[in-house]
Amino acid sequence: MGGNIDKPGFATLCIHGKKHLDKHEADRPIRAVSTPIFQSSTFAFENVAHGAAVFRGEDSSYVYTRLGNPTQTALETEMAYLEQGEAALALASGMAAATTAVLTCCRCGDHIVSGDTLYGGTHQLFTQTLPRMGITVTEVPAYDPEDFAAAITKKTRLVYLESPANPTLVLSDIAAIAEIAHRKGIPVLVDNTFCTPYLQNPLVLGADIVLHSATKYIGGHGDTVAGILVGKADWILRARMEILRDVGGCISPFNAWLLLRGLKTLPVRMDRHMENAMEIAHFLSYHPKVTEVIYPGLKTHPQHELASRQQRGFGGMISFMVKGGREAGRVVMDNVQLCTLAVSLGDVDTLIEHPASMTHSTYSEEELRKVHIDPGMVRLSVGLENVEDIIADLRRALALA
Ligand code: LCS
């Protein structure tokens, strides 16, 4: 019955066969063109002294995938490079990124100043969940730097922007707001989900932290949920070792790999999203049943000049209102055939949704009014289909409204 590790048994071989691969790697380099998915939860130490050195922070070897993994590192390196930041942290979702960022900057008793139009989930975090932990948030009109200046108090530890904002496409002047915040020593975070690093680099404009819901354009194919933070190396290290370690919202190696694959085509996808969006925005502008079209690329957008200065393009998101209000908007959304009635955005497919009852249902009616989310507003995430087909679908659905 005595075991012999030179002649392992069947169950042992099932588990340890992989060691042969390690042994041969040196003689036969792999040189994979696509970053491998390191689907490993834990990483071996050479000996106890090595493990102890890693835990003391004296050796940067991988330990455990919640804290770091080579596939995550490849994504983080790429994102830091694209956003022109020192370091990045990949997380399980955009909301995990928002929570991690806030908890890295704030503790009980601290205060955040934020723009007032935000993704509904972020608004919920700010108005419901953070106050339960003693962190308060003042939401101010996102377009007015002076309102940010007035709202900052001695307790403010973070200024939080989403530009362009979901779903109103209101922009914040990132450079002007960063200057105001920095005078008081407060860092500025910008949610850059709508633009991606292809169209806007908040760090270059003066912000300190960039956040992405990578679920959207970074992944691009509607097949993963993920988030990214980019910032200074010491801040990212704190986010990783003080918050991610304890809160635990790490990204899976497979999802990190999907984002790496998405990034390879980001510029070509964004170019087509924008080309299609511009054409659709023009179509909607001239449609008799459409009362308002919000797209920063249109000269009628009140912040078209800021968008032209701050961004390298206008993105793929459009919001519009149909004559007849909420009911007419419902008829359009219930009658499209090519566009998909679904939340999320930035996918290859065109997605259509109703912010007031879906993504922004966390806003009260009064809050919706205050931030100009019309109850009839329809949000369109323009996809990569042939633009004439998307227009034909919208034309047919609008005819029924
Ligand atoms: N930031 C923005 C601007 C977002 O649009 C979203 C999600 C998030 C953060 C949160 O990211 P997640 O955790 O979902 O990866 N926006 C959504 C939307 O408009 N429809 O569904 C989700």
Quick: pLDDT tens for 117-173.
999 999 999 999 999 999 999 999 999 999 999 999 999 999 999 999 999 999 999
Query: Does ligand 1 come within 6 angstroms of the Cβ of 191?
Result: yes
- Taking the centre of ligand 1 as the mean of its atom positions, its distance from the CA of residue 395, in whole angstroms, is 28
Is residue 66 annotated as a catalytic residue, yes or no?
yes
pLDDT average, residue stretch 285-310: 98
If one counts every other C-beta atom within 10 angstroms of the C-beta of residue 71, the result is 24
Looking at the fold, whether 248 and 300 belong to one and the same domain comes out as no
Atom of ligand 1 nearest to the CA of 96: 13
Last residue of a domain, one of 232, 264, 296: 264
pLDDT (tens digit per residue) in 303-348: 999 999 999 999 999 999 999 999 999 999 999 999 999 999 999 9
Last residue of a domain, one of 264, 281, 303: 264
Query: Does ligand 1 come within 6 angstroms of the Cβ of 119?
Result: yes
Last residue of a domain, one of 210, 243, 264: 264
Is residue 191 annotated as a catalytic residue, yes or no?
yes
- Taking the centre of ligand 1 as the mean of its atom positions, its distance from the CA of residue 42, in whole angstroms, is 30
Is pLDDT of 5 > 70? yes
- Taking the centre of ligand 1 as the mean of its atom positions, its distance from the CA of residue 4, in whole angstroms, is 54
The interaxial angle of helices 325-335 and 387-400, nearest 10 deg, is 130
Atom of ligand 1 nearest to the CA of 226: 15
Q: What's the CATH code of the domain at 81?
A: 3.40.640.10
CB-based burial of residue 48 (10 Å sphere; 0-12 exposed, 13-18 middle, 19+ buried)? exposed
pTM of the shown model = 0.96
Minimum mean pLDDT range among 1-15, 70-84, 223-237, 334-348 = 1-15
- Catalytic position from the list 157, 216, 272, 379: 216
What integer pLDDT is reported at residue 14 of this predicted model?
A: 78
- Catalytic position from the list 191, 208, 347, 374: 191
Query: Does ligand 1 come within 6 angstroms of the Cβ of 196?
Result: no
What integer pLDDT is reported at residue 6 of this predicted model?
A: 81
Query: Does ligand 1 come within 6 angstroms of the Cβ of 308?
Result: no
**Ligand 1 mutation pick, 93, 129, 193, 379, max ligand atoms within 8 A of CB:** 193
Is residue 309 annotated as a catalytic residue, yes or no?
no
The count of domains in the chain is: 2
The two tokens of residue 195 are 């633009």
If one counts every other C-beta atom within 10 angstroms of the C-beta of residue 271, the result is 14
- pLDDT band of 30, cuts 50, 70, 90: confident
What integer pLDDT is reported at residue 348 of this predicted model?
A: 98
Looking at the fold, whether 179 and 122 belong to one and the same domain comes out as yes
pLDDT (tens digit per residue) in 186-205: 999 999 999 999 999 999 99
Looking at the fold, whether 132 and 279 belong to one and the same domain comes out as no
Query: Does ligand 1 come within 6 angstroms of the Cβ of 120?
Result: no
Looking at the domain assignment, is residue 62 inside a domain? no
Looking at the domain assignment, is residue 188 inside a domain? yes
- Taking the centre of ligand 1 as the mean of its atom positions, its distance from the CA of residue 244, in whole angstroms, is 19
What integer pLDDT is reported at residue 63 of this predicted model?
A: 97
The two tokens of residue 163 are 């530009």
Looking at the fold, whether 214 and 272 belong to one and the same domain comes out as no
pLDDT (tens digit per residue) in 229-274: 999 999 999 999 999 999 999 999 999 999 999 999 999 999 999 9
The 227-231 sheet, strands edge to edge: 87-91, 227-231, 209-213, 188-191, 156-162, 111-115, 136-140
Nearest residue (CA) to ligand 1, atom 17: 344
What integer pLDDT is reported at residue 21 of this predicted model?
A: 59
Is residue 312 annotated as a catalytic residue, yes or no?
no
